[in-house]
Structures are given as structure tokens and as C-alpha cells.
Amino acid sequence: AAFVTATLLTTACSQMTVEERLNKAEDALSEDNYKQAIVHLKAAVQQSPTDVRPRIELAKVYFDIGDMVSAITTFDKVLTQRGDINDFADEYFLSLYSMADLDIFEVTFEEFKEQLNTGQRISAELIAAVISGRSRSQEQVEEHLKVARELAKENATPAVKSKIDDYALIINGYL
């Protein structure tokens, strides 16, 4: 009986659409069941390898559980498939930052910064400012903060402008 149930479950799962798998993954995440979400997302990626949506969601789950190597690898694959970096820029750049390979962060940021929307670009500039602060490069810190402030002048909310000021305080006070 257990074998029949397992076979029926496997058959039912193999007949799911990518949308159904994405929904199942979302349901699993709402219950903090990361393993089940990963299973559904990997199946969706295998089912439709050119659809970047399941791969982006999979990378975000890896990020959420702290598996930065898998997150970066998966985000990189999305970029090779011409996915929109704005859909995952915060998680991607934070993953790169967390790996402590600052050169890779800088090269990647330079490559994609013109593609980022204003909000994502501000966030990435702030991460770059923190990296520069950790590297003791005050000149680069000021340059990244200046760019973030210039971007924020035109259409950023007061909360974003306050975030920039908070980053500047932390970098200048603690790094």
C-alpha cells in the first residue's frame, strides 16, 4: 500500500505545471519548509530550464537559508539566461558580499550597475560603500555614498534617504 501511495504521489507530482510547482514552493515557504520548497523549485527548473522564474526563486531560497555558494551559482545561471537583475539584485549582491570575495563583488557590480533600477542601484552602491569601508578606502566610500545620494535626489522616499545617512554613519563610525 505504501508503494502504491508513493507511486501515485510521484506520478501526480510529475504531471504538475511549472506554475503549480511555483505555487507549491510558495506554500512550503509560507510554512518555513525550505527543503520542500527547494524540491519543488528544482523540479520546476528541470521541467522548464529556460524559464528563469523558478531559478530566481530557488536562488532566493538558497540565500534565505544562508547557502550563499548555491545562491550565487544559481543567480549567475539566471544572468546567463538574460534574466533581469532587478528581480534579485539585493539578494545577489548581498550573497557576493557575504562570501568576502570583494573583487568579485566589484567586478559584478561594475558589469551590471547600468542595468539596475534606481532603488537597486542605491542598494548596491551602499553595499559597495560598506565594502570600501572594510577595505579602508575612504575615497571610495565617499564616491559610492555620493552616487547613492545623487540617485536618491530625484525620486527616493525620505526612508531611502535616511537609509543612506544610516549607512554613512555606520561606515564612518564603525568601519
pLDDT in tens, 64-115: 999 999 999 999 999 999 999 999 999 999 999 998 677 888 899 999 999 9
Work out the burial of residue 111: count CB atoms within 10 Å of its CB; fewer than 13 is exposed, 13-18 middle, 19 or more buried. Answer: exposed
* Exposure b/e, 129-143, CB count within 10 A at least 16 = b: bbbbbeeeeeebbee
Distances in Å between the Cα of 115 and the Cα atoms of 76, 92, 154 are 15, 14, 18
Asked whether 24 and 12 are in contact (CB, 8 A), the reply is: no
Q: End-to-end alpha-carbon separation of the chain, Å? A: 62
The predicted pLDDT at position 103 comes to 83
What 8-state DSSP symbol labels residue 94? H
pLDDT at 156 over 60: yes
Judge if pTM exceeds 0.85. Answer: no
List the grid coordinates of 39: 524540491
Distances in Å between the Cα of 146 and the Cα atoms of 107, 129, 134 are 20, 10, 18
Nearest in space to 128 (alpha carbons), one of 152, 151, 103, 163? 103
